[in-house]
Amino acid sequence: KQEVTQIPAALSVPEGENLVLNCSFTDSAIYNLQWFRQDPGKGLTSLLLIQSSQREQTSGRLNASLDKSSGRSTLYIAASQPGDSATYLCAVGGSQGNLIFGKGTKLSVKP
C-alpha cells in the first residue's frame, strides 16, 4: 500500500527565507506527483504537477523535484512571503488517476 509522508509537519520561518518542504513515498511505481496549497477552510489549489518521466517543474518562486528511485520529492520556495502561509500537500498519482496524499506541512511565514 502506497504511503506518503511529509516532513516537517509544521514550519515557521521569517519573511525572505528560502525553504524546502519534503515528501517521501513508499512505492516508486507512481504516475505523477503533485504539490497543492490549501488555505484554512478552503479547497486545494494545484501548484506543480510532475509526470513520472520528469525530474522537476518550476513556477515562479516554486520549484519541485522528483526522484522516483529514492521515493522523494522536494518543494523549494524562494524568498518566502507572508502570503505563502498555508498548508502544502504532496500527492502521488495512482493508475486510475487517483491521488494518495500526505498529511501536509503547515507553513507560517512571519513578516
Partner 1 sequence: NAGVTQTPKFRVLKTGQSMTLLCAQDMNHEYMYWYRQDPGMGLRLIHYSVGEGTTAKGEVPDGYNVSRLKKQNFLLGLESAAPSQTSVYFCASSYRFHGYTFGSGTRLTVV
Q: Does 65 bind partner 1 (CB under 8 A)?
A: no
Q: Which is nearer to partner 1, 71 or 104 (CB)?
A: 104
Please state the closest distance from residue 79 (CB atom) to partner 1, in A: 27
Per-position b or e across 41-75, b if 16+ CB within 10 A of its CB: eeeeeebbbbeeeeeebeeeebbbbbebeebebbb
Which 71-100 positions form the footprint of partner 1 (CB under 8 A)?
89, 91, 93, 96-100
Q: Does 59 bind partner 1 (CB under 8 A)?
A: no
* Structure-block grid coordinates of residue 27: 512505492
Query: How far is the C-alpha of 28 from the C-alpha of 80, rounded, in Å?
Result: 30
Q: Which is nearer to partner 1, 50 or 109 (CB)?
A: 50
Given candidates 13, 44, 54, 106, which one binds partner 1 under the rule CB under 8 A? 44
- Tell me the number of residues near partner 1 by CB under 8 A: 23
Please state the separation of Cα 61 from the chain's center in Å.
14
Sign of torsion, CA 59 27 5 98? positive
Given candidates 46, 59, 81, 108, which one binds partner 1 under the rule CB under 8 A? 46
Q: Which residues bind partner 1 (CB under 8 A)?
A: 31-32, 34, 36, 42-46, 49, 51, 89, 91, 93, 96-104
